[in-house]
Chains A and B, each alone.
Chain A
Amino acid sequence: MKRYIAHRLLQGVLLLCLVASIVFFVGRLTGNPADLMLPEDVSAEDRAALIQVLGLDGPLHEQFFIFVRNALHGDLGMSIRMRQPAVEAFFSRLPNTLAIIPWAILLAMAVGIPLGVVAALHRGGWIDRMAGAIAVLGVAIPSFWLGILLIFVFSVQLGWLPSGRMGGPSHYVLPVITLGTFLIAGFMRLVRSSMLEVMDSEYIKLARIKGLRESVVIWKHGLRNALIPVLTLWGVFVGNLITGAIVTETIFAWPGIGRLTYEAVIFRDFPLLQAVIILKSILILSINLLVDILYAYVDPRIRLA
């Protein structure tokens, strides 16, 4: 178990180094980041001065060395627009994102898992068909548009819910639904297909031979096994959530790291974007590591291997 975690940790660190290097070199090789920050009619001296301030005048390997050294000290550069360290900007916004993500996951699980189970148990029935329709629609509707549609219906037409910004509980409803819907279809499809497979297995037959109640057979013996593939795909879901948060927070003017990413893009704030990508990678990799540990807990074949 310890070896397994250490192995995963090492993999994560390697991946992080890879991502950081790619971000660095993509930034330097596709143009000079300084030009992104300057107006087009800037004088040559001003440009040179900025390049020097940003440390972009040395040879590439030297710049990379400085970048790595600073990164190890927790310094990923200054945001141009906010005039504050990019790391600081990220961490001041992070809590706002973390305030909605768990609710979105909870919503997706609360809807997706039971719906997937019931759809699998009544294969071909009306619930299964309804679930199928939700799955198909869930993939086809762009989530940013769904958010706007929700605002139109619930804020503009009905006036029930606020259309954006942080605030009381009612402010959470629409962003959480938008972000959660993003996951529901995927969750449900996965649970349904793995539940179908599990319920046909011999150990489910044995559980029934024992005379266990059908609810115990389904929710204890069936679901626990059916959730294993869901956990293995968790990494993909986390990635989806992080990208989903970008559009969701943009639509609802939610001051989290997603909105920060959007701002970095539209204001061409390269140092900020670079920092945000690296920090988000760390976030994704840590969550993945947690899930791997949870996975080992659920599946003894991994834990005891």
Chain B
Amino acid sequence: MNTQTVLEVRNLHTHFFLRRGIVKAVDGVSFTLARGEVLGLVGESGCGKSVTALSIMRLLPRGGARTIQGQIWLDGTDILTHTPRQMRDVRGRKISMALQDPQTSLNPVFTIGAQLREALMRRLRAAQAAITQAAIAALRAVDIAAPEQRMGQYPHQMSGGMKQRVVGAIAISGHPDVLIADEPTTALDVTIQLQYLKLLKRLQQDTNMAILFITHDFGVVARMCDRVAVMYAGRIVECGKVTDVFAHPSHPYTKALIASVTKLKGSSGRLPTIEGQPPSLMDIPIGCRFAPRCPHAEQRCRDIYPPSFPINDTHTADCWQLAPS
């Protein structure tokens, strides 16, 4: 596998400055993504996964969200220093994103064809007919039957799964190096989910693009990803190869999450849960964020946030238990 790094996020902080306080949605996130690699970003809803994605795209919602610290290195330049104009050139072509909800991601008043052509026109400065051909090819690539007819249809005339594939086709139409997929299957039926994941995997292998795959589902991670980063309350607490993390989960939070997945599949009757609630992102504990829920928490966990301790050369976790004694 090619190990050249295509995206590196360093110490990213994105906060929401609201009237009632500061929400530290992303509070010191770092990771790297190699060319052609699929990295899963896993965590409960509200842990800052989506905000991380939107920070990288620099498409944070209006109303007080700001990235206040950190660097995002894409192909050797820090895109946080880009002007809006430079950022526009990057979007779609170097880095792109597939959104969560297919029902609302397509503009209801334009045809599928028009929305796809619009995306293609930026890459190919070609004649109208050529762009239309490229759009039809793009639809075919995402397994849409009779793409010629679909071109003239509006989003409301398609099923959810089909819309999601169109969103995918639009997202990768610029041949990006990096695709961020933000829970692309949560809004779909189970059978269609599987279909979509297979499609995504195939497209990834064909084009060798890197994917940052955001999900709350460890099963999807096992199926899709090479590496996984586990996020909790605005930080990545454990990161490593999927096989390593599944075999030796090292952060208590990861352990609990994986245990909950495997137990679900097993026959033990009780539904596993983690005691307690994640902390409010407005009032984050000074020490380890998981300490209030952690069965092994000691005083230093509550006082100081742990550094990343290596388990092997690709696997790290932020937990004091791993400190060499």
Which of A48-56, A73-81, A293-301 contacts its partner? A293-301
Say whether A42 faces chain B, with CB atoms less than 8 Å apart: no
Please tell me if B157 contacts chain A, counting CB pairs below 8 Å.
Answer: yes
Q: Are B96 and A301 in contact (CB under 8 A)?
A: no
**Complex partner residue of B107 from A200, A207, A298, A304, CB under 8 angstroms:** A207
1/0 per position for B155-185, CB-CB distance to A under 8 A? Answer: 0110000000001001101100000000000
**A283 located at the interface, meaning its Cβ lies under 8 Å from any Cβ of chain B in the complex:** no
Contact-residue bracket for chain A: 20 to 34
Question: Using an 8 Å CB-CB cutoff, how does the interface string of B41-82 with A read, 1 for contact, 0 for none?
Answer: 000000000000000010101100000000000000000000
Residues in A whose Cβ lies below 8 Å from that of B97: 209
B57 and A213 form a contact (CB under 8 A):
no
**A43, B173: Cα distance in complex, Å:** 89
Chain A residues near B167 (CB-CB < 8 A)? 206
Q: Which residue of B lies closest to A203 (CB)?
A: B107
> Hey, what's the 0/1 contact readout for B88-107 against A, CB within 8 Å counting as 1?
11111100110111001111
Residues of A within 8 A of B118 (CB): 207, 210, 212
Which residues from chain B contact A205 at a C-beta distance below 8 Å? 59, 99, 105
CB-nearest residue of chain B to A303? B154
Residue of A nearest to B109 (CB): A224
Contact call B99/A202, Cβ cutoff below 8 A: yes
A24 to B88, CA, bound (A): 64
Q: A225–B99 contact, CB under 8 A? A: no
CB pair A200 B91 closer than 8 Å: no
B122 at the interface (CB under 8 A from A): yes
Instruction: Please name all residues of chain B whose beta carbon is closer than 8 Å to the beta carbon of A123 when the two chains form the complex.
Output: 62
- Indicate if the CB atoms of B91 and A299 lie closer than 8 Å: no
Using an 8 Å CB-CB cutoff, how does the interface string of A177-199 with B read, 1 for contact, 0 for none? Answer: 00000000000000000000001
> Nearest-CB distance from B133 to chain A (Å)?
19
Q: Are A211 and B93 in contact (CB under 8 A)?
A: yes
- A210–B170 CB distance below 8 A: yes
CA distance A221 to B91 in the complex (A): 17
Query: In angstroms, how far is the closest chain A Cβ from the Cβ of B177?
Result: 14
Closest to A213 in B: B88
Decide: B109 and A299 in contact? CB cutoff 8 A: yes
Instruction: Give, as a whole number of angstroms, the nearest-CB distance from B185 to chain A.
Output: 16
* Complex interface: chain A residues within 8 A of B105 (CB): 202-203, 205-206
Q: Does A208 contact B (CB under 8 A)?
A: yes
Mark B126-162 against chain A: 1 for CB-CB distance below 8 A, else 0. Answer: 0000000000000000000000000000101100000
A209 neighbours in B (Cβ, 8 Å) = 57, 59, 91-92, 96-97, 99, 170-171
Residue of B92, B96, B106, B107 contacting most chain A CB atoms (<10 Å): B107
* A62 contacts B by Cβ under 8 Å: no
Set of chain B residues within 8 Å of A221, measured between Cβ atoms: 107, 110
Q: Judging by beta carbons under 8 Å apart, are A211 and B174 in contact?
A: yes
Q: Are A304 and B61 in contact (CB under 8 A)?
A: no
Which of A228-273 touch B at CB < 8 Å?
228
Chain B neighbourhood of A207, CB < 8 A: 107, 118
* Interchain nearest-CB distance for B282 vs A (Å): 22
CB distance from A208 to the nearest CB of B (A): 6
CA A200 to CA B315, docked complex, whole Å: 38
B109 lies within 8 A of A225 (CB): yes
Q: Beyond A205-B59, A304-B157, is A210–B107 a contact (Cβ under 8 Å)?
A: no
A212 contacts which chain B residues (CB < 8 A)?
88, 118, 122
A224 to B97, CA, bound (A): 24
Query: How far is it, in angstroms, between the C-alpha of A209 and the C-alpha of B54 when the chains are bound?
Result: 10
Instruction: Select from chain A the residue with minimum beta-carbon distance to B97.
Output: A209
Q: Are A225 and B108 in contact, CB atoms less than 8 angstroms apart?
A: yes
Establish whether residues B59 and A208, one from each chain, have CB atoms under 8 Å apart when the complex forms.
Answer: yes
C-alpha gap A213/B110 in the complex (Å)? 17
Instruction: With both chains docked as a complex, state the minimum distance between the C-beta of A133 and any C-beta of chain B, in angstroms.
Output: 22
Binding site for A on B (CB under 8 A): 57, 59, 61-62, 84, 88-93, 96-97, 99-101, 104-111, 118-119, 122, 154, 156-157, 167, 170-171, 173-174
Top 7 nearest A-B pairs (CB, nearest first) are A211-B92, A211-B91, A203-B107, A300-B154, A202-B104, A210-B119, A202-B105
Chain A contact residues, CB within 8 Å of chain B: 123, 199-203, 205-214, 221, 224-225, 228, 298-301, 304
Q: List 26 A-B contacts (CB under 8 A).
A: A200-B61, A201-B104, A202-B99, A202-B105, A203-B106, A203-B107, A206-B107, A207-B118, A208-B59, A208-B91, A209-B57, A209-B59, A210-B170, A210-B173, A211-B88, A211-B92, A211-B174, A212-B122, A214-B84, A214-B88, A221-B107, A221-B110, A228-B109, A298-B109, A300-B111, A300-B154
Known: A210-B174, A212-B88. 5 other contacts (CB 8 A): A202-B100, A205-B105, A208-B57, A211-B119, A214-B84
